[in-house]
Amino acid sequence: MKNEEQEQLDSEVLHLAKPASVFDPSSTSMIEEPMVELKQHYMMVPATHNMQQVARVANDMTSSTRGSWGNSAKAPDILENPWQELTQRYIGGRLV
């Protein structure tokens, strides 16, 4: 990939590490509302363990368990019907 193409791609991606992970629900809402707006114009890449937040703000998701990539699809599809056992267990609140 050319440097110009990489720069253009990077400018369209927002990387977020555990957004709002330490905030109360009211403050979390103040963080998530702009995220929902911004996802219309940028690819949002939040790294989080909060599946409720994923459900609120993500269009797509990829799960990662034990250092391996798992399910990758539309967030509602994975959250409602994960097809890999470790992802099912994690979303169900069980330790993996």
User: According to the model, what pLDDT value does residue 68 have?
Assistant: 82
SS3 helix, strand, coil % of the chain, rounded to 5? 45, 25, 30
Calculate the CA dihedral of residues 3, 19, 93, 61 and round it to 10 degrees. Answer: -30
Q: What is the pLDDT of residue 28?
A: 92
In this structure, the answer to whether residues 6 and 37 fall within a common structural domain is: yes
Say whether both 20 and 53 belong to one domain: yes
- pLDDT, position 9: 52
Contact between 72 and 65 (Cβ < 8 Å): no
50 and 65 housed in the same domain: no
Check residue 29 and give its pLDDT: 92
Whether 64 and 44 map to the same domain: the answer is no
Distance (Å, rounded) from C-alpha 35 to C-alpha 54? 11
pTM confidence score: 0.69
User: Do 9 and 51 lie in a common domain?
Assistant: yes
Residue 39, pLDDT score: 86
pLDDT (0 to 100) of residue 2:
58
Number of domains in the chain: 2
Q: What is the span of the domain harbouring residue 90?
A: 60-96
Q: What is the pLDDT along the chain (96 residues), one digit of tens a residue?
A: 456 655 555 568 888 888 888 899 899 999 999 998 988 888 888 888 888 898 888 888 888 877 888 888 888 888 898 888 888 888 888 876
In terms of Cβ atoms closer than 10 Å to its own Cβ (0-12, 13-18, 19+), residue 57 is buried
